[in-house]
A and B are shown apart, each in its own frame.
Chain A
Amino acid sequence: MRIVILGVGALGSTTAVLCRALDATLVFVDFDKVESKNLLAQAFVKQSLGKNKAEALKAQLLNFYGTKAEAFGVRVTKDNVEQLTKDAGLIVDCFDNAESRRIVSEHARAKNVPLVHAAISGDGSFGLVRWDARFTPDAEDHAGQATCEGGEHLPMIGLLSAALARTIQDFVTKQEQRDSMVGLKSITVTS
Chain B
Amino acid sequence: MAILNITYNGLSADYPIEMDGRVSDADIKRIALEVVRSGEVPGLALPHLPAAAFDGFVIDRLQNGQRLYLRPKVPFGA
Contact = CB atoms under 8 A, between A and B. Distances in A.
Q: Which bracket fits the contact residues of B?
A: 20 to 34
B33 to A, nearest CB: 18
A170 interface: no
**Secondary structure call for the B interface:** strand
Contacts of B74: 119-121, 126-128, 138
Closest 8 CB pairs of A and B: A9-B78, A184-B10, A7-B78, A125-B10, A119-B74, A94-B77, A138-B73, A121-B72
Which of B9, B10, B11, B77: most chain A Cβ within 10 A? B77
Given A183-B10, A186-B12, A98 B78 contact: no
B62 interface: yes
Interface of B: 5, 7, 9-12, 56, 58, 60, 62, 67, 69, 71-78
**Secondary structure call for the A interface:** loop
Contacts of A125: 9-10, 72
A135 to B, nearest CB: 9
A83 interface: no
Contacts of B56: 141
B77 A138 contact: no
Given A185-B10, A191-B62, A12 B75 contact: no
A126 B7 CA distance: 8
